[in-house]
Amino acid sequence: MKYRTIGTDPNNRREVSALALGAMLMGSRTDEETSFALLDRYVEAGGNFIDTSDNYAFWEDGSQGGQSEELLGRWRRSRGIGDEIVIATKLGARPLAPGTSYTDNPEGLSAKVIRESAERSRERLGVEKLDLLYAHIDDPTVPQRETVEGFAELVAEGTVGLLGVSNQAAWRVERARAIAAAAGLPGYEVLQYSHSHLRPRTDVPSDLFPDGSLGHAGPDLLSYLRSEPGLTLVAYSPLLKGAYVHEDRLPSDYDHPGTQARRTVLHEVARETGATVNQVVLSWQLTGDLPIIPLAGVSSLSQLDENLSAIDLELTPEQRERLDVAH
C-alpha cells in the first residue's frame, strides 16, 4: 500500500492509503457478511481510509440514511478497530423526512444541523472523534460564515479532526476557505468530487446535479487544486459505476465524441501493460502531478483485489502523456 498525507497542520494531519474504500452501499444493498469481508480485506492490504455519509443509503429503502455508518460502527466494535483507521463522513444532504430526497428536502448546513448531525454520526460510528467531516452539498440558504464557524467549533472541541467539502462550486469553496483563514479558523482541506479519465459535459444535466457541473472536478476545480498545495482531491466514482466495463452504464453526460478517443487510448494502454482498463484509470489518477486519492466502492472481493492491484501499476511517461492529451 502507498500513502498520502491529508491536512496541513502537523498536529492534525493524517496519513491515509492512496486508495480509499467507499462504504456507500454497505449495510443496505451490500449485506453485512459481504461488507465485513470487504472491509477486512482492505485493511489487510494496508488500507486505512474509508468513506461514508450520514445519508447513505436513503434511496435504497426510502429512509433518511445512516445504514452505512451503523454498519461501520458494528464492524469497528467487532474487530476492535481504533483510530488507526480513518473514517470520513459527510453531512448536509440527509433528507429531513423519510421518503423525501436531499434535492428537495435536505438537512442543510446551519450551525445547529452541523452540531446535531455530527453527533448522530459519532454515535452511529461509535467514535469520540470524526476523523474527516465533509459538507456534502452546498446550502445557499445559510450564510457561509455560519457554516464555517459551525464546523470550526467542532474542531475546537475535539470532536472533529479535518474538514472537507464536496459538490460545491469552486468559488464557493474558496469563499468559505477565505472566511475561515481571515478568522483564524480551520477550513476545508479535502475536496471530494467526481473525477475519472473520461470527461463529462458540464452544459447538460447530470445524473445527480441539474446544472450538470457541481459534482464534477472540472477545469476550475483542478486549477484551484493545483494552485493550493495544501489541498487534496478525493475522487469519487473514478470507475463510473462500472461504465468502463459495461458501456451501457455510461452516464448520459459522458455521451459525447471525446469519450471514444479516451476509451481507445485506455484500451491501448491496458493491452500494453497487461492490466485491466479499470486499473489503468486508477493508476492514471494515483500517479499524476495532482494530489488525487481515488475513492472506489466495490461489491465483491474480486473487484476490491483488482482495484488494490492498480496501486502497483506503473505507467510510462509516454503512456501517461497519451492518456492526458486524448480528446
Annotated catalytic sites, by residue?
Answer: 56
Q: How far apart are CA 310 and CA 216, in angstroms?
A: 23
- CA 173/CA 228 separation, integer angstroms: 12
Q: How far apart are CA 147 and CA 40, in angstroms?
A: 36
Spatial CB neighbours of 311, under 8 Å, sequence gap ≥ 6: 1, 2, 18, 19, 282, 283, 286
Q: Which residue do the cell numbers 467507499 mark?
A: 22
One-letter amino acid at 31 equals D
What is the Cα–Cα distance from 149 to 289, expressed in whole angstroms? 33
* Residue 34 host element (H or E): helix 32-44
Give the largest CA-CA distance in the chain: 54
